[in-house]
Amino acid sequence: MQYGATKSDFTRILMKWNRHENKRQMPWKGQQDPYRIWLSEIILQQTRVEQGLKYYEIFLHSFPDVYALAEAPEKKVFKLWEGLGYYNRCRNLIETAKKIVFDYGGDFPRTYEQIRELKGVGPYTAAAIASFAFNLPYAVLDGNVLRLLSRYFGINTPTGSSQGKQLYSELATALLDKRNPGLYNQAIMDFGAVVCKPRNPLCIQCAQSADCVAYQKGWVHELPVKERKIEKKSRWLYYFLVETRDHRIYIRRRDENDIWKNLYEFILWESAREISDNQVGNLPFLKKLFAGRKFVIRTISAAFRQQLTHQIIHARFISISIQQPLPGIKGYQLVKKNSVREYPFSRMMVSYLKHAEIS
């Protein structure tokens, strides 16, 4: 440790800042109801607070307690989650709500170990719930905390490496105020969010700057060190909105273990590369799909793009008219065009539906 500071200095200054200067307000802050804490933490995983806030309020209004969530139709839950992304979180939310109701009689588990066993709950989320709801001494370690600790202590070990994970975990635990773990955890996350920000940190105003290694050595914009980014693969998805004469469209629910599981989609053909508009009408896929029946391509959308964790999705939407329903199209159902928005779709498809004014 440099500049004469100690770990206790860091904690003391942080808690003082929290008492006198921390003005950050959020609806779940200070909350001790484990259901509400869990709900907010799952929604905020890989999501900006500004975006997650409205979803938290919607979910809490629709499902005020774990019983309401456990008993809700999955289609409704996914529809409310629509646009938030990372849909595996929604599946875990549903599964965990049912487990709490049926295995724990509606009472949220009260130990870190039991909380950690819940689906979708990692070390950070478990520590947050344990400390905020039950005042248990477990330190949170999210992106805000990692950035703050890396800069303050001048740590250049990559945060995602096995060595980094152990180092930061031990350091976070050593700094934790064991008497007020919930208050401390909220304080350190707030400090990282509003003072030690990723860009344009408030170093001049920072209560910890006198002993911050990165600030004193000019390393602020070099820390934390992250591991090399994973190269993302690209996928081209072609969606066919096949509409019958009585204004019904084919959709299906995605059940395979792939992106957007449990969400709905139109008739899909995936290509290894982008194809031109002129090639669309001659695709062997379409010839097999319609088996000699007449069809009319009405519109072909521009390309939509969505970046996921490990892949980049490119999609185009082709609107097609047919006179009679297609016989035996496995896995798909016909729904009225004006009711299609009642079903949960991926963010990309929601964008297209809005663009095409399909409601």
Does 41 qualify as catalytic in the annotation? yes
Return the ∠ at Cα 81 (arms to 78 and 85), rounded to 5°.
110
> CA end-to-end span of the chain, whole Å?
60
Please give the C-alpha separations between residue 314 and each of 66, 279, 318, 350, in angstroms, as whole numbers.
37, 17, 14, 14
**Which of the following is catalytic: 21, 41, 82, 231?**
41
Stated as kind and residue range, the H or E segment containing 107 is none
Helices (H), the chain: 7-20, 34-44, 49-62, 66-71, 74-81, 88-104, 112-116, 123-134, 143-153, 162-175, 181-194, 213-217, 277-280, 284-290, 347-355
User: Whole-angstrom Cα distance, residue 24 to residue 28?
Assistant: 11
Contacts of 37 (CB under 8 A, 6+ apart): 28, 31, 128, 129, 132, 133
Catalytic residues: 41
